[in-house]
Structure 1
């Protein structure tokens, strides 16, 4: 591979269609699209100020890099992207990309990041930002810390472990999601989703877990949770501790140590389809 060391590039398409490069200590300054239509690129300790840093590229590795706020719309329409020990300060990074691996990555302004991507692996990632990870298919996530609203809207086929999410409206319109050993705080968890399983999780929500199909909770806690399970069907919930209130579940089994208020309205649901066990 050709090596580039401690260089400074600016302008448009600085390394357009260049393949087989090992780039270290280099700054991609003011401009656009420094790496476009590239393949087999390794970047170490590089800084991106340029807009659209990596587009239409494949087999790209970033280690110890920084993408500045000006480097927005960072990695789009690309495949086989490996990012480690990197700080991304710009929004709208990762769109329409396949085969993304991230480890020890921090998104300081992760608004509208990771949209419509497939085969995503994340390990020890920190995110601040709204609308993170929308319409992604095939995700393996471990050790995520996320502060932001409307995360994981419309995702499919995902497994999450040891995640901590603080923000409203996460996991809406999602399908085939399993979450282990996690803490999720916010309003309106999981609306309009199907085939969702939580194991050893803690969820705090207002009107959480409503309008869902095939919802499983195993050994979970629901503190500060009100008006839960409205119009959700095929529920199998094993709750440790109490639930502040439950409203009009459409069917299934809910087991909890206590339910502060149980609202079952015959005119809105067939109450015979839900079994409630307390104590």
Structure 2
């Protein structure tokens, strides 16, 4: 095992093809692709200052390391990488990589990060930025905070626990999503998706949970959520709070203590295909509201 310690490097591909090495207290300054095509690397207490630090790598472990703002597009085409206790300041950090483990990691700017990746596990971490996780698959999150819109657009096979999302258009175009014990705050949640479950969650979402096939909500709070379930088929919703309004579900069942406004337009759907179990419905409407403001 090679040991590289207490060093400052500059230059393009400065450690190209390095293998079976420990790197500690090293700063990689100006120069692209310092560790391209590396394998079997343990990296500690180090800093990446420039572009493309870890491309086409295998078997990488990173601890207590900083990826500064210009270390953009940092980890592409890499397999079997784990990162712990590290600060990720640059955008576009992961693309087309797999077998990724992140724990106690902070993404200051996760814009366009984790695209088209697979086998991802993120725990005890903070993610800030738009379009995180686009078109990725086989994702596990626990105790993660996400602040940024369009998270997991087009992703598949997602399991989430004990997490928070402040995100417009989260989980769009997804397949096989299960979220447990989490909080979601954001408009237009989970449109155009299928096989979506929320269990013991708190949700606020204007026009959320629409255009979904096979949607399950178990013991869910839907506060300040309006025009929910439009064109949702195979719906099984057990809601513990008032729903501000429900619009034109295709089929299934809804249980809730109160619905503020129930819109069931026979010109759009067959109302008989959805069973409503609700102690109080404040307003019933047998047609769609043509003056509804469209999604921007």
Scaled by the length of structure 1, the TM-score of the pair is 0.99
Q: How does 1:103-122 map to 2 (within 5 A)?
A: 103-122=103-122
Paired residue secondary structure (1:171): coil
- Per-residue displacement from partner, 1:236-260 (whole Å, max 9, x unpaired)? 0000011000000011001100000
2:182 is the alignment partner of 1:182: yes
- Per-residue displacement from partner, 1:4-28 (whole Å, max 9, x unpaired)? 0011111100100110110000000
Determine the C-alpha separation between the residues in 2 that align with 1:207 and 1:271. Answer: 19
Equivalent position of 2:259 in the other structure: 259
Paired residue secondary structure (1:272): helix
Determine the C-alpha separation between the residues in 1 that align with 2:267 and 2:50. Answer: 59
Determine the C-alpha separation between the residues in 2 that align with 1:186 and 1:99. Answer: 29
Equivalent position of 2:42 in the other structure: 42
Equivalent position of 1:130 in the other structure: 130
Q: Runs of at least 4 residues of structure 1 off by over 4 A?
A: none
Determine the C-alpha separation between the residues in 2 that align with 1:229 and 1:202. Answer: 16
> What are structure 1's unaligned runs of at least 5 residues?
none
Equivalent position of 1:140 in the other structure: 140
Paired residue secondary structure (2:62): strand
> What are structure 2's unaligned runs of at least 5 residues?
280-296
Equivalent position of 1:81 in the other structure: 81
- Per-residue displacement from partner, 1:61-108 (whole Å, max 9, x unpaired)? 110000000100010000000000000000001100010000000000
Equivalent position of 2:290 in the other structure: none
Q: Aligned-pair RMSD on alpha carbons?
A: 0.6
Paired residue secondary structure (2:260): strand
Determine the C-alpha separation between the residues in 2 that align with 1:205 and 1:63. Answer: 37
Determine the C-alpha separation between the residues in 2 that align with 1:136 and 1:144. Answer: 17
Q: How far apart are residue 136 of structure 1 and its match?
A: 1.0
Q: How does 1:1-279 map to 2 (within 5 A)?
A: 1-279=1-279
Equivalent position of 2:282 in the other structure: none
Determine the C-alpha separation between the residues in 1 that align with 2:212 and 2:278. Answer: 22
Q: How far apart are residue 53 of structure 1 and its match?
A: 0.7
Contact 1:10 1:50 in 2 (8 A): no
Determine the C-alpha separation between the residues in 2 that align with 1:129 and 1:140. Answer: 19
Determine the C-alpha separation between the residues in 2 that align with 1:271 and 1:221. Answer: 24
- Per-residue displacement from partner, 1:98-156 (whole Å, max 9, x unpaired)? 10000000000110110100000111110110001111110111011011100011111
Paired residue secondary structure (2:272): helix
- Per-residue displacement from partner, 1:184-241 (whole Å, max 9, x unpaired)? 0000000011001110001110111100000000000000000000001000000001
Q: Number of aligned pairs?
A: 279
Paired residue secondary structure (1:11): coil
